[in-house]
Amino acid sequence: MNEAEAIARAFAAPGRISLPFTDAIHDPDRPLWLHAYRPAAHTPDRPVVFVLHGLARNGEEYREHWIDTAERHGALILAPGFPEETHPGARAYNDGGVLDAAGEITPSRRWAYQVPARMLALLQRAGVTRRRQAFLYGHSAGAEFAQRMVLLTDRSPFCAVVAANAGWYTLPTLLRPFPEGLGGLGLTDADLEARLAWPLVILAGEADLDATGPSVPSLPAALAQGPNRFARARHLMAFARAEAVRRGTACHWRLETAPGIAHDGHAMSQVCAALWFEGQMPDAARMAALAGKPLR
């Protein structure tokens, strides 16, 4: 049985799916996981949503955040898992393995950022989906992955990307080294301007204000973006807009903020789903409920 046939068999029945996944191009010796959910209403023409876990590498839990959305919209949920054992620390996951331990650039085909697009291509070959593009959502460390993926790889497999509550961001500049900026990776001014023109959504919880917790990145480049995740999202957008003005080009990045919501992967998943599938942010009552503060 070839790989596509095995995937077709795994996705033949509705429900939760978890299986080991090896991307031989990324690294045959570093296995991944594919956690997924196929609702009974899913057909190959319904939406596909990638969900990227955070620091805890809990792909199964992030899949669960999206099951209600899957059921309402017939969407196929794919939550890749990057185990800490095979992808240790931020360098291998958040930063995509772009740089090795010595700070040298690795071959781009092996970057972790290439994995979701190859997963999508495999599901297309298997007949699980006929969708040419997928949605992609990342939260916390997964948001760092999502934002950097958009900056460094082909965006055409994805119709929309949302980076929610990232610990910090790669700034759209060639004057600072990766991951603080995009310098040293061989990108040109034209490359940078094309990336600013792509409609990336930064989603930030307005109550994500922790400045001292162990999961809040505290390296100098992160602290320079602000004391907490919400401040860093605002800093990124101000920087991106100023860079676009300086270059005389368009910036189609957008900041959406979620009132009352802190560093909550489930709540932010619901906000993102509303943006994609309802075309708007949740109303005040629903947002308050997600934040655990019902309106009086």
Contacts 24+ apart (CB under 8 A), 145-150: 145/52, 145/93, 145/94, 145/96, 145/112, 145/113, 146/52, 147/200, 147/202, 148/94, 148/95, 148/96, 148/98, 148/113, 148/179, 149/96, 149/113, 149/116, 150/195, 150/198, 150/200
Would residue 296 count as lying in a domain?
Answer: no
Contact 136, 161 (CB under 8 A): yes
Q: How far apart are the C-alpha atoms of 286 and 275, rounded to whole Å?
A: 13
Would residue 16 count as lying in a domain?
Answer: yes
Domain total of the chain: 1
pLDDT at residue 296, as a whole number: 41
Would residue 285 count as lying in a domain?
Answer: yes
Q: How far apart are the C-alpha atoms of 105 and 38, rounded to whole Å?
A: 37
Would residue 90 count as lying in a domain?
Answer: yes
Contact 120, 48 (CB under 8 A): yes
Query: Would you state the structure tokens that stand for residue 272, as one six-digit string?
Result: 């993102």
Q: How far from the centroid of its chain's Cα atoms is residue 86's Cα?
A: 19
What is the tens place of the pLDDT at every residue in 129-158? 999 999 999 999 999 999 999 999 999 999
pLDDT at residue 79, as a whole number: 98
pLDDT at residue 280, as a whole number: 96
Predicted structure pTM score: 0.97
Helices (H), strands (E): how many in the chain? Answer: 11, 8
What is the tens place of the pLDDT at every residue in 22-78? 999 999 999 999 999 999 999 999 999 999 999 999 999 999 999 999 999 999 999
Contact 148, 211 (CB under 8 A): no
Kindly report the CATH number assigned to the domain that includes residue 96. 3.40.50.1820
Residue 97's SS3 state is: coil
Q: Which of 276, 245, 272 lies closest to 261 in space, CA to CA? A: 272
pLDDT at residue 147, as a whole number: 98
Would residue 230 count as lying in a domain?
Answer: yes
Which residue stretches of the chain have pLDDT < 70? 294-296
Q: Which domain holds residue 199?
A: 3-290
Would residue 28 count as lying in a domain?
Answer: yes
Would residue 295 count as lying in a domain?
Answer: no
